[in-house]
Amino acid sequence: RLLGAPSVLFAKTVLDAVIVMIMTATLGKGCIFSALSVGIFQGAIFLAAGFLEPIMTPAALKSLSAVGDILIFCVGTNLFGLPHVRVANFLPALVIAVIWVLAG
């Protein structure tokens, strides 16, 4: 399904390219080099998703999405100056949520 509807990936690529062009114009050509590392990182995530797709059940995806939504909410609370949450400490919860569903 990753390659079934690549329009989302293409849209994200175009958005990332526009942002990199704007940042390069304002901050200098070093942004282009950071874009390369971001591209490699996103490509690695894409390839990992391809390998994990066969084992991800709808319940596991729902659990992963729920935990991800909570983490995004915590990032928002940090941006608004509410009590600070160290979101990176909760990243293992993404893996644990999927394993919990698959093991149960």
Taking only the tens place, the pLDDT of each residue in 34-54 is: 878 888 888 898 888 888 888
Shared domain for 66 and 103, answered yes or no, is yes
Read off the DSSP letter of residue 55: G
Q: Which helix (H) or strand (E) holds 56?
A: none
Reading phi first (left if > 0) and then psi (alpha if -120 to 50, else beta), residue 85 is in beta
Residue 39: per-residue pLDDT: 82
Shared domain for 47 and 60, answered yes or no, is no
Shared domain for 47 and 64, answered yes or no, is no
* Regions in the chain scoring below 70 on pLDDT: 1-4
What is the number of structural domains in the chain?
2
Structure tokens at 100: 């919990």
* Angstrom distance (rounded) from CA 46 to CA 33: 20
Shared domain for 28 and 66, answered yes or no, is no
Q: What residue numbers bound the domain in which 71 lies? A: 56-104
Reading phi first (left if > 0) and then psi (alpha if -120 to 50, else beta), residue 57 is in beta
Shared domain for 40 and 65, answered yes or no, is no
Shared domain for 49 and 69, answered yes or no, is no
Shared domain for 46 and 76, answered yes or no, is no
Residue 70: per-residue pLDDT: 95
Shared domain for 83 and 68, answered yes or no, is yes
Shared domain for 43 and 5, answered yes or no, is yes
